[in-house]
Amino acid sequence: MSFADRIRHCNNYDPARAIPLWAGDHRIGWLRRDNAEALGCHREVFAVERDEARLLATGDADAVSRSVDEVVETLVAERHLPKWRNETFDVAPRWGAPPIFRLDRGAVPFFGVRAYGVHLNGYRRDGDRYWLWIGKRASNKQVAPGKLDNIVAGGIGNGYGAAATLAKEAEEEAAIPAAMIARAVSAGALSYRMETKLGIRDDVMFVYDLEVPDDFTPANSDGEIASFELMPLTTILDRIRTSTNFKFNVNLVILDFAVRHGVLRPDDPEYLDVANGLHRPLD
């Protein structure tokens, strides 16, 4: 068991098992071949060939979203897709560009479109010793139930920026007040591409650090986190190395925190695997 195992787990994507999904000149998704097959009969919205698929629906983002939604509805009925999550993500040629359409979050891995999220390291420190507030995910979560998590994390829904998503989730997930989350420091972006039961996760995580006061204790109000615990970073790193207690992508966020704060250093044999491996090229 090693740090590199955690990173490999999030990058198990195999290009031979998927085909690109195009919108005009932009590659906007990766369809696993079984998902591509399921999509093949919706010929008015998608053209699916052997080695690539293409979005055919035209019009503004509202019009294209409606066309895609009709396809998604059928896919849910046919059980190719899980239930709707009633939260939509922007699908755009690149981060910050105007969306081509909006997609229900439940359908994101089916199409393998890039999804963006925020993760917050809520920490306390004494000299060079660090502690992180760690949440335990509720046992009824759809993804990674019962796994350990950052103090705050969430997907960036359509129309939201990274900082606005962080503030919203900080309040809902951990009762972090607006004045406190305003002090969070944007600290980078991590990326991975992972095949799951549903398809391909092509994820970018914007990471933030927040030094929290000694008298602050997070409290969850949306039912997504069962409990919080303040854990020494050295203990957390041991558990990351030797267990899968943490949610798959949270391992990456905490390893990045340890690298940036000099807790993992170049004399660690895995240092370059970690420092480099957290940043999959955004091709």
- Chain residues binding a second copy by CB under 8 A are 94-96, 161-163, 185-189, 191, 204, 206, 259-262, 265-267, 269, 271-272, 275-276, 278-282
CA distance 32 to 110: 8
- Give the shortest CB-69-to-a second copy separation in angstroms: 28
- Provide the minimum distance between the beta carbon of 130 and a second copy in the complex, in angstroms, as a whole number: 12
CA–CA distance, 270 with 195 (Å, rounded to integer): 24
For residues 96 and 213, which CB has a smaller minimum distance to a second copy in the complex? 96
Do 247 and 144 touch, CB atoms closer than 8 A?
Answer: yes
Q: How far is the CB of 266 from a second copy (least distance, A)?
A: 4
Residue 5 parent element (H or E): helix 3-10
* Residue 57 or 180 with smaller CB distance to a second copy: 180
Phi, psi of 110 (to 5 degrees): -55, -45
Looking at the Cβ atoms of 187 and 226, the one nearer to a second copy is 187
Query: What is the closest distance, in whole angstroms, from the C-beta atom of residue 265 to a second copy in the complex?
Result: 5
Nearer to a second copy, 102 or 280 (CB): 280
Shortest Cβ 118–a second copy spacing (Å): 9
Find the shortest distance in angstroms from Cβ 210 to a second copy.
Answer: 11
- CB atoms closer than 10 angstroms to residue 7: 22
CA neighbor of 5 nearest in space, from 207, 253, 243, 264: 243
Minimum CB–partner distance for residue 159 and a second copy (Å): 14
C-beta of 22 vs 95, nearer to a second copy: 95
Signed CA dihedral, 22, 28, 31, 36: sign only: negative
CB contact at 8 A, 13 and 194:
yes
Helices (H), 137-211: 162-174, 178-181
Q: Which of 168, 136, 165, 162 is nearest to 151 (CA)?
A: 136
**Shorter beta-carbon distance to a second copy: residue 145 or 161:** 161
| Six-digit token string for 258 | 């340890």
Pick the closer one to a second copy by CB: 110 or 257.
257
Closest CA to 85 of 157, 168, 166, 160: 157
